[in-house]
Amino acid sequence: MSSSLLNGERVVVLLFICTILFSLPLSLLFHGLALSLLALASSFLEISFDTSSNSPHLLRTRRGASSGILLGAVTLPSLLLSKLVQSSRGFSLAQLQIQEIQYLTLQYWATSASSCSVVLFLALAQRRSASYSSPWAVRFSLCSVFFQALVCVAALATTCQLGLHPALRISWVFCHGLASVKLILHFLGTFPHCASIGEAFLVTAGIVLYFGDLLLLTIKKVFGLLFSPESVTAEFELSRSEISIIIQGLVLGLLLYPIALKLILQIWEWSLSTASAEARRYRKIGRSVLFTASLGFVLIVIVPSWMQFVQEFQGHPFLWVLSFVLSEPSKRLSLCIYWVCIICVSVLRFYNISKNSKIERILLRKYYHLMAVSMFLPALVFQPKFLDLAFGAALAVFLTLEIIRVWGIWPLGQPINQFMNAFTDHRDSDILIVSHFSLLLGCALPIWMSSGYNDRPLAPFAGILSLGIGDTMASMVGHKYGVLRWSKTGKKTVEGTAAGITSVLAACSLLLPLLASTGHILTQHWFSLLLAVTVSGLLEAYTAQLDNAFIPLFFYSLLCL
């Protein structure tokens, strides 16, 4: 009974949540209560799912994976709560405006509502499932969700956020919850057996939060009279940089583009069905031309038009990018040449090794982690703004290549698919390959989230340290020297985890003097750093989820406290 209630992953997640709750100031206790109720609801729901023989038929998750509901439900709310703790310190030092904290608070309640809504949906789906078991766990989960919803509504109704009427705030947050439920069903239906519930939880909650931010930006421009000018203007005009707008427009434009592409290709296939046999010979070429033309129109016309609508660019946004790069040509162009050389040499070398060597694929994948360290670490120290833009460009390229691979666009679709399959593992599938996305976003998200107020100089390095150094050393040492396993069924070893934790601490001891020499004020205490490294290292040892997605967010959240 005790083993079914607590496993290693749940213990680590609960330790993570308790650390955040212990660090909350009195002004955020209400937020901590909501997170506690969400953790209770998701943990008991996870117990019900993991003790059942099958998941509900609507949820076609990755075969053999644990549900990961607790981990997926609490990661983003915990992250935003940690950012609120950090922002409260900045506000007390008069380095932040109250509107920025209000907007971050609105994002926290929107994310909590998204998690609460999905947990409620999953609990109701589990009750209707033929393999329904542990009824007490589902009932307790439903009760916790109910009280968490009451706390959310009470907070939104009683606090002032961006000058919005309480009814508008509650409706806004409710729309996030509804969108999250719809999106997770669409995600698991479109890409069956590609992710666990927890991984789908994190992806959908993040996308909904990101789209909500875009929608609020657009609404502010279209219906400015609905908002208090003092509050909204201070938040949206002072804290938004051109780089963040460009990244947001590119990413969301490419995420929405497949909807238009599907419609375009359906019309094209219908027209070919009535055409002559000679015309059908050019089917692949026609699909490629349509793809190139439509993608170019989206990226050159539609997306930049939105960017210019919400932000005042002097000319076309891509011309702004060019001028930004050329503003320091010796440093930034040299960095680009350095990146291209590393990518070309490393990719060709590792691809040949993967075809001709007996080295295990997991170790080949860790070489890319080391490559990420060599690429991103120098840029983050000396050119952080340029690295922000480079991450956005890389993510846009990855999304474009994945669209080409999934849709089989001639002539690159098949070669890209063959190349990517050389580095996949059991967590990838033929439909969707996510490992490269998780590595890139794992390194980029802590940097992007530190673009505003940040009094923890190590926080932007959370992804590079935890994935590029800690995860890599844990895998290599554990594979070669590991003897003591954390569990009977798992492959992670105590030796590997110890090596990962030690390597991250050693890297921090070298990085801190370098940051001090560049003018950073060091405020990170070694005890909090040791706690953050240990908890994220234990999560890597115990979790069965996609660790590239969760470990950097855990590490970043604990560093912000």
Q: Give the DSSP per-residue string, 95-135.
A: -S-HHHHHHHHHHHHHHHHHHHHHHHHHHHHHHHSTT---H
- Identify the sign of the CA torsion 61, 67, 72, 74: positive
pLDDT for residue 523: 65
- Do the beta carbons of residue 118 and residue 186 sit within 8 Å? no
Q: Give tens-digit pLDDT for 295-341.
A: 999 999 999 998 888 888 878 888 999 999 988 888 899 999 999 99
Q: Give tens-digit pLDDT for 380-430.
A: 988 889 999 999 999 999 999 989 988 888 888 888 888 777 666 666 666
- What percentage of the chain has pLDDT greater than the value 70? 85
Q: Give tens-digit pLDDT for 436-458.
A: 888 899 999 999 998 878 888 89
Neighbour-count burial for 103-137, b at 16+ CB within 10 Å, e otherwise: bbbbbbbbbbbbbbbbbbbbbebbeebeeeebeeb
Q: Is the pLDDT of residue 470 over 60?
A: yes
Tokens encoding 173: 């947050």
Lowest average pLDDT, out of 103-107, 115-119, 158-162, 258-262, goes to: 158-162
User: Using CB atoms within 10 A of its CB, is residue 239 exposed (0-12), middle (13-18) or buried (19+)?
Assistant: middle
**Residues forming a β-bridge with 485:** 493
Q: Is the pLDDT of residue 133 over 90?
A: no
pLDDT for residue 549: 86
pLDDT for residue 527: 82
Distance in angstroms (rounded) separating the CA atoms of residues 560 and 87 = 9
Distance in angstroms (rounded) separating the CA atoms of residues 402 and 396 = 10
Q: Give tens-digit pLDDT for 214-257.
A: 888 888 777 654 444 444 444 444 457 889 899 999 999 999 99
- Say if residue 77 is preceded by a cis peptide, omega within 30 of 0: no
pLDDT for residue 179: 93
User: Using CB atoms within 10 A of its CB, is residue 293 exposed (0-12), middle (13-18) or buried (19+)?
Assistant: exposed
Lowest average pLDDT, out of 8-12, 45-49, 96-100, goes to: 96-100
pLDDT for residue 160: 63
**Residues forming a β-bridge with 493:** 485
The residues near 389 (Cβ < 8 Å, ≥ 6 apart) are 243, 246, 247, 321, 324
Query: Does pTM surpass 0.95?
Result: no
Overall average pLDDT of the 487-494 stretch: 80
Distance in angstroms (rounded) separating the CA atoms of residues 462 and 447 = 8
Query: What average pLDDT does the structure give for the chain?
Result: 83
Of 184-198, 265-279, 521-535, highest mean pLDDT = 184-198
The residues near 308 (Cβ < 8 Å, ≥ 6 apart) are 316, 317
Planar angle of CA 87, 88, 93, nearest 5 degrees: 95
Distance in angstroms (rounded) separating the CA atoms of residues 405 and 414 = 7
Tokens encoding 124: 């109701």
Distance in angstroms (rounded) separating the CA atoms of residues 532 and 558 = 5
pLDDT for residue 434: 82
The residues near 419 (Cβ < 8 Å, ≥ 6 apart) are 351
pLDDT for residue 239: 58
DSSP-derived secondary structure letter, 488: S
Count CA atoms closer than 13 A to 357's CA, side-chain side.
14
Distance in angstroms (rounded) separating the CA atoms of residues 256 and 306 = 14
pLDDT category of residue 353 using cuts at 50, 70 and 90: low
Of 253-262, 353-362, 516-525, highest mean pLDDT = 253-262
Overall average pLDDT of the 78-100 stretch: 89
Question: Within 10 A of 461 (CB to CB), how many other CB atoms are there?
Answer: 29
pLDDT for residue 225: 42
pLDDT for residue 232: 44
pLDDT for residue 196: 85
pLDDT for residue 413: 83
Q: Is the pLDDT of residue 119 over 90?
A: yes
Planar angle of CA 426, 427, 433, nearest 5 degrees: 110
Q: Is the pLDDT of residue 34 over 90?
A: yes
Q: Is the pLDDT of residue 557 over 60?
A: yes
Overall average pLDDT of the 114-139 stretch: 80
